Structure 1
């Protein structure tokens, strides 16, 4: 059996799950009109998916460490496909939001599982290339979501955004199952997992509410965010939190997690801001705005696969560091943005940042997985997925809050892009952990888990 089929299946799965984070943004006005609801309710079509991504990722990853990979793949992908069909068939807004929550729950399991499947699929000396393929497709799904959604709505209707996940899910299962051993059967999660989910869900819901309200009603609502702290402290006291805290706190592990959260927040800030600039300046049509934004994912696709080969030769840390530096450079180049800047001025700068993102994603994930204990691979996949989703949620909210300080003018746009550049620079600094440089092993053929 060609184990690269499993890598391809994992890549398609993560593309599908990440695409569903952003694809729904373009369908919200249609859903709002069709179900006769307002923006504040329609927004939960987005948040209903993101909430379980944050709340269930850690307990889901711990649970996946105890079941066989074949059963885990079948359960998570089949559940995601079934929930997607339920969204498309929704007769009302309540059903739709509930189905989106269920879809997000299975996506949380799927995103925690994908790095594990990629890690076990290939030999250690090929792992950087395999992870680069998968981690290139993940961000690509997120940033191409709005463009894909627009085309599907125009040709087939909004429900087909979700119906198309069903045949894709069947394809992933058919490609991935033969390459995996049966392993242990899934068991229902115990009370400890449910308590962990409730506490993380409370913290996530509070943060998402604060970010949502701040984006719509002003940055003063960010004052609600500290209310998440009691939930986080209560989770920290749980016995099940100890392995997670020990994992993230071990030498070499904090850097990839912090870098990932900061880089995703920076990228999503820019993806949120640039279309507004082009629309308000009147320098581009809707089609030209879409083509301009495609410069970023096109550059990701160009450099992502090469990043894996480079990581296998030169070490993942060096390639990830170069990628984060390139993202920072691309965002710094955007700082002088002016009212007259059009698609040509922005596209090449977005391409610089996209090229860096392609270099960063796969090697950074390979670095984290290589440093993880063998019995905590799914937990590591979960913690990195959580870091990614925090960045996805945080970026647009921080961009909106910063932009609003000057009445949504060009100076505020520059300030928001400056904040994104600072986040990108923080992703570089996070990788310069002195403990990691002294003690961690690079993810090449001499990785910790290599055979």
Structure 2
């Protein structure tokens, strides 16, 4: 696959493509929170059980994670302009299919197609930054994109709830269409034509996608079976490990494996994986702590989480600018350190802390995340070999997805072993802190090369 025929950098920064990319990432990341509000209405309308509706969320997440790396490799040889437009068309068509679905199986098919199209957005994320933004401004561009994504995650559920109430669950899947059209229009007007188009994936790449995708899906599904069917979960882990090993034996996987093992990219990936584990606090520990210790409602959990998101959004642009000035690793180390401080503060909460005590501690964690995320994304881009920026983005996406899938299960186990309550909460936080220490240590390992976006 030829990845050298298009320019890999730019002489001047074009911000319009970054705005379009930010909006596209907004659609991709908000899709999970927006869709969650459709589940009760969908269950009643299509006559399915609440448990079955979990496939609405899983059907989107599985393909997006499963094909992230192959999609990234494909994007390295494709036109970023054409790929982003194709992704917007794909998301739009799949959304319409989901909205008009006469039966639940059609909804699942639509969600699978949405996830596949969304993986293309992830695949072209870093290549578009590469060709649109000067090297010394890439941190700021990524910080801007992350701010849009954070805001999207926060307003997704309320916005979806309003649309579902005014119309119905089908309208929620259609409300993004004007935004998709706008992103495609801006991409066509502002991204350069490079003559590469959309290459047809070869048999080798399709084989890699099948093996690696199967491994990722098996590992993600194993988490869902841990409690109800541990033997099935164990079997899925074995299948995933064997399939992943088979993928590493393919000739086409050699550059990806070499990148992951590299002295520059490897530590960045470890740090990203470790930081992504903190989702276990938000997805499991915090809701159960509020419920079991504070005797609070889900509304309390949602309210205190606003302080986390409210800290991430304004800090991210600042972190991007600091990364451009002082280097990505420096800012990522500071972000990791602040996150560790936030986790340490979480160990001091008790029943008397109340929502206010949780809120300001979550704000500290939000500052850490706001500093870390733009810096680590810029570091990922800087550490990628020339012509493999899409692959680097795919690897990062796979690492994030696996971490955010596994982390809630890990802390849930800690919670159960400690007997729940305050002891269970602190046990889970300790494990998350230990993982974060590993990530920080990885960033402090000398690489022999200064990584700066």
TM-score by length of 1: 0.91
Aligned partner of 1:448 in structure 2 is: none
Aligned partner of 1:449 in structure 2 is: none
Aligned-residue offset at 1:423: 2.5
Aligned partner of 1:72 in structure 2 is: 83
Aligned-residue offset at 1:285: 4.6
Say if 2:271 and 2:443, in contact at 8 Å, map to a contact too. Answer: yes
Say if 2:18 and 2:132, in contact at 8 Å, map to a contact too. Answer: yes
Gaps of 5+ in 2: 1-11
1:90-101 counterparts in 2 under 5 A? Answer: 90-101=101-112
Q: CA separation of 1:205/1:286 partners in 2, compared to 1, >3 Å: closer, same or farther?
A: closer
Show CA shifts across 1:261-292 (max 9, x none).
22112134324332333234465454443221
Say if 1:11 and 1:133, in contact at 8 Å, map to a contact too. Answer: yes
Q: CA separation of 1:433/1:153 partners in 2, compared to 1, >3 Å: closer, same or farther?
A: farther
Say if 1:255 and 1:431, in contact at 8 Å, map to a contact too. Answer: yes
Show CA shifts across 1:162-218 (max 9, x none).
21221111111122222212221112212112211111222122112210112x537
- RMSD of Structure 2 on Structure 1 (CA): 2.3
Q: Distance in 2 between matches of 1:97 and 1:269?
A: 29
Aligned partner of 1:4 in structure 2 is: 15
Aligned-residue offset at 1:157: 3.0
Show CA shifts across 1:120-156 (max 9, x none).
2111111111111123433554465444444443444
Aligned-residue offset at 1:374: 2.3
Q: CA separation of 1:306/1:13 partners in 2, compared to 1, >3 Å: closer, same or farther?
A: same
Alignment of 1:366 with 2:366, yes or no, is no
Aligned partner of 2:409 in structure 1 is: 397
Aligned-residue offset at 1:13: 1.1
Q: CA separation of 1:83/1:28 partners in 2, compared to 1, >3 Å: closer, same or farther?
A: same
Q: CA separation of 1:198/1:32 partners in 2, compared to 1, >3 Å: closer, same or farther?
A: same
Aligned partner of 1:327 among 321, 339, 344:
339
Greater shift, 290-299 or 136-145, is seen at 136-145
Say if 1:80 and 1:107, in contact at 8 Å, map to a contact too. Answer: yes
Partner SS, residue 377 of structure 2: helix
Alignment of 1:45 with 2:56, yes or no, is yes
Partner SS, residue 108 of structure 1: helix
Q: CA separation of 1:342/1:145 partners in 2, compared to 1, >3 Å: closer, same or farther?
A: farther
Aligned partner of 2:265 among 253, 259, 262:
253
Aligned partner of 1:129 among 140, 144, 158:
140
Show CA shifts across 1:338-396 (max 9, x none).
34442201111111001110111111111111122221111112111222222222222
Alignment of 1:262 with 2:282, yes or no, is no
Alignment of 1:273 with 2:282, yes or no, is no
Q: CA separation of 1:401/1:39 partners in 2, compared to 1, >3 Å: closer, same or farther?
A: farther
Aligned partner of 2:424 in structure 1 is: 412
Q: Distance in 1 between matches of 2:280 and 2:159?
A: 17
Say if 1:54 and 1:200, in contact at 8 Å, map to a contact too. Answer: no
Show CA shifts across 1:1-54 (max 9, x none).
971111111111112111113433343343333322234432221211111112
Length, aligned pairs only: 440
